[in-house]
Amino acid sequence: MNSLKSAVILFLLCLATAARSEDGSCLWLRGEMPTDITLQIDSTMPDDDGYRINGRTVTARTQMGLLYGRYALLRGEQGESHPFYRLRILNHWDNLDGSIERGYAGASIFWDNSSLDAQLIQRYAEACASIGINGTVLNNVNASPKMLTRKYIKKVKEIADILRPWGIKVYLSVNFGSPKALGELKTADPLDPQVRQWWQKKAEEIYAVIPDFGGFLVKANSEGQPGPFDYGRTHADGANMLADALKPHGGIVMWRSFVYGAKHQGEDRVKQAVSEFAELDGQFRDNVILQSKNGPLDFQPREPYAPIFDHMTKTAQMAELQITQEYLGQSKHLVYLAPMWKEFFSFVSPERLVGIAGVANIGLDTNWCGHHFSQANWYAFGRLAWNPMLSSEQIAEEWLTQTFGNDSNSQLSIINSQLLDVMLRSREACVDYMMPLGLHHIFKFDHHMGPDPGGFKANYPIEWCPVYYHRANKDSIGVDRSSTGTGATTQYREPYRSQYDNIDTCPEQYLLWFHRVPWTRRLSSGRTVWEELQYHYNRGVEEVDSFAVIWQEAKPFIDKQRWQEVEERMEFQQKDARLWRDVCLDYFGSFLK
């Protein structure tokens, strides 16, 4: 075992105390960085950037392991730890004009018309490295073909050079139709030799300037995006063509399974991913990874797990989680997402996945995420990507301690305990005041902020309309996805297939997702469906009110700026929770008059 005092690593560690502004570039990095540490390289340790901590000594096989271990020491860790997943990747839905699709914290930190802010990117890299994130997709999955032009590849190189010392690889979302869209070929057919050659040359061009480039993320034949179906080809044909271009350079293809559209006219939207991909299992190259959302619909506050994870047993898979709160109050609601992600892992074993991706919530706002507590979700994603066995409570405790401090002899420890309780209750509260009992996707059109249970536009596809997802009338509410309905339950493995299929055994949290239920049916509480909806909506509002009281009590122990900014968002959340309750109960109640 050789002792190493790495000047590079120590320099990077010193940057951890650098703040983007007075309120901190990254709240969980505001603790003091001890300097009396020993860094040691041990070549006998596993080659996975893991670390071992004994007192003030950090031991690792790699330089990155030392860096990760140093941050772990700051969190108070002792013992040995290794990353569960090799791929721990953020997906930025950033557009080349600087806007961000589903971004609620300002403009892109990567793309605009000005020169690159290297210091800002470096602080972003530091924050990611501190929680073990080792990859980032720099642009939107609804990708512009321009992303692959020389101008933007040059800028990607600049970003990659800044991120590399922090152990972060760059990846790009690519538009499948790029060769044609850029006017360089007349087709994008994946079986056309000229198209295959185009992608091979493009890969060579990228790797010539970014030797450690990670690979491509692809959204194809969904929501109007081009793809192999345009040429009568399969997802495997398309993914394998790109995989072949990247293979000589060690790159991967992350092919998204989020698909729905005209090909499935009349088919239940939640079934479409399995319908398109199940028969292709085993046909993908070994450097193709199928990337699937945690639920079969679209990042709802609560969904059953996506059954595609049951079907692709011969294909590498990674889960896609959404850190940005598109359907959970965006950056205006305090909703801690680790409990939702842990719920997913209770159904889909972490061992079945090769990686985990998170749709980022990061922008140019001073606190990165719009809402100070939204940083906890960025933090939680990184910690779960490193170790999905960690509990929601442990992660929240870490974040609170590093964000607001901790003194066991002061009132602050009591406040942190109360805030921990708020965080752990917040996701269930959100489900209650938005869509309890399995209700889903009843948001306002397009921007997905606020309730619109009666939403319908004749010129929209029906699966974009909120009424499609509850189908309430004077007798019943909910969607029959049982074996005698749309058949969505048949896509699940046992015991869930039978459990979800039977209205008497279906968990009530998924009841209206899988079944059409009479308003008068009595549930386990003894209340009718209508009474139970009222109970949940009112409970959700009461929970948010209690959160606001706790935040008021925390005022003496939080700096003025952060307290006021959270307070303003808390007031909005209280009003919005009431809006959800009132609009939904008025609408659904109208069927019972």
- Tell me: the pLDDT tens digits for 439-448? 999 999 999 9
Q: Looking at the structure, do residues 92 and 77 belong to the same domain, yes or no?
A: no
Tell me what pLDDT residue 28 has: 61
Q: Residue with structure tokens 């901590």?
A: 53
Q: Looking at the structure, do residues 474 and 529 belong to the same domain, yes or no?
A: yes
Q: Residue with structure tokens 């969505």?
A: 488
Residue 273 located in a structural domain: yes
Residue 489 located in a structural domain: no
**Which residues share a beta bridge with 318?**
291, 355
* Mean pLDDT computed over 27-32: 59
| Structural domain count of the chain | 3
- Tell me: the pLDDT tens digits for 74-133? 999 999 999 999 999 999 999 999 999 999 999 999 998 778 999 999 999 999 999 999
Tell me what pLDDT residue 8 has: 35
Chosen domain end from 29, 50, 81: 81
pLDDT at 10 over 50: no
CATH of the domain at 452: 3.90.1330.10
Q: Residue with structure tokens 């994603």?
A: 381
Is there a contact between 226 and 175 (Cβ–Cβ < 8 Å)?
yes
Angle at 362 between CA 211 and CA 113, to 5 degrees: 70
Tell me what pLDDT residue 410 has: 80
Q: Looking at the structure, do residues 74 and 172 belong to the same domain, yes or no?
A: no
- Tell me: the pLDDT tens digits for 261-301? 767 888 999 999 999 999 999 999 999 999 999 999 999 99
Tell me what pLDDT residue 528 has: 98
Tell me, what amino acid is at 20?
A: R
Residue 505 located in a structural domain: no
Chosen domain end from 50, 81, 112: 81
pLDDT band at 412 (very low <50, low <70, confident <90, very high): confident
* Mean pLDDT computed over 216-242: 97
- Tell me: the pLDDT tens digits for 479-516? 999 999 999 999 999 999 999 999 999 999 999 999 99
Tell me what pLDDT residue 411 has: 81
Q: Looking at the structure, do residues 449 and 356 belong to the same domain, yes or no?
A: no
Lowest mean pLDDT among 8-17, 188-197, 355-364, 403-412: 8-17
pLDDT band at 17 (very low <50, low <70, confident <90, very high): very low
Q: Looking at the structure, do residues 226 and 138 belong to the same domain, yes or no?
A: yes
Neighbours of 457 (CB within 10 A): 10
Q: Looking at the structure, do residues 35 and 121 belong to the same domain, yes or no?
A: no
Q: Looking at the structure, do residues 237 and 297 belong to the same domain, yes or no?
A: yes
* Mean pLDDT computed over 401-412: 81
CATH of the domain at 143: 3.20.20.80
Alpha helices by DSSP H, 460-526: 496-501, 511-514
Residue 189 located in a structural domain: yes
Catalogue the active-site residues: 223, 298, 326
Residue 191 located in a structural domain: yes
Neighbours of 522 (CB within 10 A): 12
Tell me what pLDDT residue 321 has: 98
Higher-pLDDT residue of 35, 100: 100
The crossing angle, in degrees rounded to 10, of helices 375-386 and 392-404 is: 130
Alpha helices by DSSP H, 86-233: 118-130, 150-163, 178-181, 193-209
Lowest mean pLDDT among 22-26, 457-461, 514-518, 587-591: 22-26
Tell me what pLDDT residue 455 has: 97
Backbone φ and ψ for 229, nearest 5 degrees, come out as -60, -25
* Mean pLDDT computed over 49-61: 97
Residue 544 is given by DSSP the state H
Tell me what pLDDT residue 29 has: 66
Chosen domain end from 47, 81, 115: 81
Residue 275 located in a structural domain: yes
Contacts of 119 (CB under 8 A, 6+ apart): none
Q: Looking at the structure, do residues 180 and 270 belong to the same domain, yes or no?
A: yes
Neighbours of 212 (CB within 10 A): 14
Range of the domain at 379: 87-399
Q: Looking at the structure, do residues 445 and 303 belong to the same domain, yes or no?
A: no
Q: Looking at the structure, do residues 203 and 180 belong to the same domain, yes or no?
A: yes
pLDDT band at 260 (very low <50, low <70, confident <90, very high): confident
pLDDT at 406 over 90: no
Is there a contact between 320 and 306 (Cβ–Cβ < 8 Å)?
no
Contacts of 311 (CB under 8 A, 6+ apart): 274, 277, 278, 281, 491
**Averaged pLDDT of the chain:** 93
Neighbours of 537 (CB within 10 A): 24
pLDDT band at 18 (very low <50, low <70, confident <90, very high): very low
Tell me what pLDDT residue 23 has: 43
